[in-house]
Amino acid sequence: MIARIWHGRTPLEKADAYSKFLNVRAIPDYRGIPGNLAVHILRRDDGDTTHFYTFTLWESLEAIQKFAGSPIDLAKYYPEDQEFLLEFEPHVTHCDVVGSAPS
């Protein structure tokens, strides 16, 4: 299993709208890819900025490529992200999952 981690920042005043966008648009997009095992979106408010971390779990690198294209370490953005994000980090992080405790 492989974890894919993306980070982005929004102004605090746009964070609620971005949270909604991620739940309505991004989560179904991830979940629609065969081989996606889970999607978790984390939010941390920090002063006038909000950090978002998208943490997804995948069966294989091939499954990630179906979602992200090639090369798989490039971040995937939606056109709507232009309305929210302060910058566009070019890369994501991939990690092998070496331990897990399902709920």
**pLDDT beyond 90 at 103:** no
- Residue 50: the pLDDT is 98
- Residue 100: the pLDDT is 85
The pLDDT tens digits for 64-99 are 999 999 999 999 999 999 999 999 999 999 999 999
Examine residue 102 and state whether it is found in any structural domain, yes or no.
Answer: no
Could you tell me the pLDDT band of residue 102, with boundaries at 50, 70 and 90?
A: confident
The pLDDT tens digits for 8-41 are 999 999 999 999 999 999 999 999 999 999 999 9
Examine residue 103 and state whether it is found in any structural domain, yes or no.
Answer: no
Examine residue 52 and state whether it is found in any structural domain, yes or no.
Answer: yes
Structural domain boundaries enclosing 63: 2-96
Examine residue 13 and state whether it is found in any structural domain, yes or no.
Answer: yes
How many distinct structural domains can be found in the chain?
1
Contacts by 40-46, CB closer than 8 A, 24 or more apart:
43/15, 43/19, 45/12, 45/15
Could you tell me the pLDDT band of residue 101, with boundaries at 50, 70 and 90?
A: confident
Distance, first Cα to last Cα, the chain: 17
Which residues in 44-55 are b (16+ Cβ under 10 Å) and which e? eeeeeebebebe
- Residue 73: the pLDDT is 96
Examine residue 101 and state whether it is found in any structural domain, yes or no.
Answer: no
> What CATH number does the domain containing 25 carry?
3.30.70.100
Examine residue 70 and state whether it is found in any structural domain, yes or no.
Answer: yes
